[in-house]
Amino acid sequence: MLDRRRFLNLAAFALPRAIPCVAEIVSGLPKQMPSDEVEVIQTRVFAAGRNGGNPCPVVAVADGLSDSEMQNLARRFGLDTAFILRPRVKDADIRVRYFVPDHEMGVSGHATIAAITVLLQNKASRPRTLKIETSTGVFEATWIRDGSRYVITLGQNPPIFGSIVEPGLVAGVLKIHLNQMVLAKSPIQVVSVSRAKLLVPLLDWRVLDHLTPDFEALWELCDKQAATGLYPFTRRTNKRNVEAEARQFPLRAGFPEDAATGVAAAALGAYLTRYDLGCQTGQHEFRIAQGYAMGAPSVIQAIADCANGTVNKTAIRGVADIVRHERIPVIK
């Protein structure tokens, strides 16, 4: 696994668009395997060091798979797994479905970056902008080449700032003291840019590293707040060249923690823009460390655009590294 290089500081929202036909987009992908097996491309996304990043298997040709077959593959890997299909929505270039071991998700930021990287590495047609159809909506991505790798900027929705949660409830779930939270500047709040996350500001990286949540209580809290995970973070981190550090505990995913979570980092970028920067006009970028407590160091670049006192655009940026290709039997 190569060390993840420093993110390039690139314009996120203003790359030129070339409109390809769908046949051109999918023509460079691997051919459909026999019905009893499937080709899987293993990737790691947002890696910031050895063994870093969020592992993500990608099935590049998934139109022949049933829902249960996709679910069984994700369960076999024990990871977020991305499946690329032909689009159903007009003007979308590809469709992606996302499964974790226990259910299907609407969208996954790191898995989308993995899927786009597989698409580009397979030398399919390469428009500078791609529209990705998901069950949550259509998202736009842009990319540039950095040597043999692709730096991908994936747009998200304008943020929705939801309910503010009472600190005592969260302290009990995380098994920490109230004085280990920092609430003078910003609250515990649900924020969504595509999937809602409950953001919890903590004192420092030491508190963050030593969290041992009560997962049943955590999931119950997420259910009550209509959140898909809890995202405790701190502005006081010992990681270099980052603005914040976080951990992600997803809702009943089939694994307890994520190494790098794009949609949560984008929500945190919007949150920091609102509470730390007072929604100053312009584009703001934050580097969010994640995965260190798991031994999988990751850094996600979160982007938020502000105008007229409102965050009106969000995005994430990062790189996926292809680790290997393999053929996997399909479980019916």
Identify the CA nearest to 182 among candidates 161, 157, 204, 198. Answer: 204
Instruction: Flag the least confident range among 35-39, 50-54, 72-76, 230-234.
Output: 35-39
Is the pLDDT confidence value at 11 over 50?
A: no
Mean pLDDT of 91-105: 96
**From-to residues of CATH 3.10.310.10 in the chain:** 22-155+319-329, 160-318
Higher model confidence: residue 154 or residue 8? Answer: 154
SS3 72: helix
pLDDT at 8: 36
Average pLDDT, the chain: 90
Per-residue pLDDT, averaged over 181-206, amounts to 97
- For 69-87, write each residue's pLDDT tens digit: 999 999 999 999 999 999 9
pLDDT band at 331 (very low <50, low <70, confident <90, very high): confident
Task: Give the CATH number of domain 160-318.
Answer: 3.10.310.10
The class (CATH top level) of 22-155+319-329 is alpha beta
pLDDT at 296: 97
Q: How far is CA 229 from CA 59, 110, 244, 257, 268, in A?
A: 25, 15, 18, 10, 13
Start-to-end C-alpha separation, the chain: 32
Under 8 Å between Cβ of 33 and 39: yes
Which range (11-15, 121-125, 132-136, 254-258) has the least confidence?
A: 11-15
pTM above 0.75, yes or no: yes
- 207 vs 6, more confident: 207
328/12: higher pLDDT: 328
Contact by Cβ (8 Å): 95, 86: yes
Q: In the prediction, which pLDDT does 123 show?
A: 67
